[in-house]
Amino acid sequence: MNKPFATVLDSATSLQNKTGSWRNVKPEYVNRLPPCNATCPAGENIQQWLSLVQEEKFLEAWNVIMQNNPFPATMGRACYHTCEKTCNRGKFDGAVNINLLERSIGDLAIINDWQIDAAAAPTGKKILIIGAGPSGLSAAYFLRKYGHEVTIYERHIKPGGMMRYGIPSYRLPRWVVDAEIRRIINCGIKLSCNKHVANIKDEMRNFDAIYIATGAPIPAKIDIETNRKTNILDAIDLFKKIEDHHLANTAALGEMLGKIVLVYGGGNTAIDAARTALRLGAENVKIIYRRTLEKMPAHDSEIQEALQEGIEILCLRCISMIDGNKVLLDKMNYDAENNTLSKNGENEIIIADSVIFAVGQYIDTGPLANVDGLVVTEKGSLEVDKNMMTGTRGIFAGGDVIPGKKTITDAIGHGKKSAQCINAYLQGIEITPNAKTEVANFKKINTSYFKTSDPLKIKKFDAISFEEKNISLPNEKIISESRRCFSCGNCFHCDNCYGFCPDNAIRKSPDGTLTINYDYCKGCGICSNECPCGAIKMVAQLD
């Protein structure tokens, strides 16, 4: 008796691992990189923790965040959420509000006093970290997880760096900063505040490795003619005065600033300084910026909030002279094609009680003196190699002290990478870079399987004060917003491929795992087309 045709085909093709010569392509399950993950400077697995939030597993979601970022409540307020700019949902009906979700999970952790898992077994290695800002504290956290003994020296009277001394409390409440720093220090890290390292060379003999995370604390200076005593101060100095006095002396600071305040600069620090001046009692606050509004380096949301609060931004102007309360502004021409500025011969005079400079910061090179191998660039940054090591063996650096973007999230990413590199250095091993993974772009998503829904908006208070303007979300809204995630590039077990395959080539195990039996698959591509999240790729069939 002849065998059924299907049986004959099955036995024949099983030897070749393909259905027949007519199949040019075959499907494969893949794990593409979600664009949110790809653009996160801290390297968070955003998609993974969002999937856990969808299942109401908040503690598990927080633990996933903490694998890459020990400051979720802080970053949920201070990060400029590049993840949302690349979120595929943004091309559909509005990006998932990842920033607010992270902030809410971080707040849950503080409220419930969730703690970090114990460190690894002690290695006996000692690392000194200079600077208790976001980069230094992140490096300490990850180094401690490796089992190393970590000591931090901080020059200010409190830890936090720019989280404390560079971001006003209405954006980042100090109870959040204090709670997340306390959790890190409680891992067994030694912290000495109000301790200035005069010369790193003196510390090298006491530690197996040193991480420089001193930031860029020195305000940049501009050569502007000042004819007589003028009320001028730097933005960072203003923030420090407010922070160290616990806001108790804000009335005196407000009197010092006066009612009419000019802020010179166009970055986020300039925006924060202007909004802080309002909160100190100024009635008329203007930002002076030399280029156009579109060219301002400050984050757009910060610019918009400043405008909403009544702050005026005067673009294409430079301060050329300050004479008492008279500020002379030169008007500028901007050539967008060549990115050049030139004075157009016109000027104007503005009356101001005080001028706040926010034109950039530089690193403190004093502690770096007499250390062979440390190289400071012309732009005032410390050079490091691909492993975050300076020119001096055993000394690493990261955060604002090295070239690159000057954001807290980038600083956290530097801290994590530096900890990995320091750990490898102490073990005498090389770090193997992760293989590059294809990013799941919007074209990979089958949006016909998703319903449109409005993204969750942040609730804000209208009052102009030092109290936080935004509030976190209740659990039900956290879950609802997380479920808007497309799960870009990664299977979430919808079983479309299983249901649509015309040849029953998709096999499903009892635990839900899906596999493809190529003895039956003819490469039609229906499974790939009907996959909502782009987790199936059609690849060339090789003989």
Residue 378: what pLDDT? 80
Does 10 have pLDDT greater than 60? no
Residue 261 lies inside a defined structural domain of this protein: yes
Same domain, 264 and 354: yes
In this prediction, residue 58 has a pLDDT band, given cuts at 50, 70 and 90, of very high
Residue 437 lies inside a defined structural domain of this protein: no
Q: At what angle do helices 475-482 and 98-111 cross, to 10 degrees?
A: 140
Same domain, 268 and 281: yes
Choice between 216 and 53, residue whose per-residue pLDDT is larger: 53
Question: Tens digit of pLDDT for each residue in 411-449?
Answer: 999 999 999 999 999 999 988 888 888 999 999 999 999
Host H or E run for residue 354: strand 354-357
Same domain, 233 and 315: yes
Residue 435 lies inside a defined structural domain of this protein: no
Q: If 0-12 CB within 10 Å is exposed, 13-18 middle and 19+ buried, where does residue 281 land?
A: middle
Quickly list DSSP for 286-355: EEE-SS-GGG--S-HHHHHHHHHTT-EEE-SEEEEEEETTEEEEEEEEEETTTTEEEEEEEEEEEE-SEE
CATH of the domain at 521: 3.30.70.20
Residue 120 lies inside a defined structural domain of this protein: no
Residue 16: what pLDDT? 47
Same domain, 305 and 253: yes
Residue 324 lies inside a defined structural domain of this protein: yes
Same domain, 226 and 320: yes
Average pLDDT of the chain to the nearest whole number: 90
Residue 506 lies inside a defined structural domain of this protein: yes
Q: What percent of the chain has pLDDT over 70?
A: 93
Residue 436 lies inside a defined structural domain of this protein: no
d(CA 218, CA 417): 25
**Which has the minimum average pLDDT: 32-41, 88-97, 244-253, 397-406?**
244-253
In this prediction, residue 519 has a pLDDT band, given cuts at 50, 70 and 90, of confident
Same domain, 212 and 281: no
Same domain, 228 and 356: yes
Residue 13: what pLDDT? 40
Same domain, 350 and 384: no
Residue 6: what pLDDT? 38
Same domain, 315 and 368: no
Residue 465: what pLDDT? 80
Same domain, 160 and 213: yes
- Torsion sign across C-alpha atoms 491, 495, 498, 501: negative
Q: What percent of the chain has pLDDT over 90?
A: 69
**Which has the minimum average pLDDT: 71-75, 340-344, 409-413?**
340-344
Residue 541: what pLDDT? 76
> Nearest CA to 158 among 198, 185, 139, 127?
185
Residue 92 lies inside a defined structural domain of this protein: yes
Residue 138: what pLDDT? 98
Same domain, 238 and 262: yes
Does 15 have pLDDT greater than 60? no
Same domain, 280 and 350: yes
Residue 20: what pLDDT? 52
CATH of the domain at 414: 3.50.50.60
What is the number of domains present in the chain?
Answer: 4
Host H or E run for residue 233: strand 232-234
In this prediction, residue 337 has a pLDDT band, given cuts at 50, 70 and 90, of confident
Residue 251: what pLDDT? 77
Find the domain containing 382 and state its range.
Answer: 126-218+362-427
**Which has the minimum average pLDDT: 175-189, 230-244, 496-510?**
230-244
d(CA 76, CA 70): 12
Residue 335: what pLDDT? 86
CATH of the domain at 79: 1.10.1060.10
Three-state SS letters, 3-47 = CCHHHHHHHHHHHHCCCCCCCCEEEEECCCECHHHHHCCCCCCHH
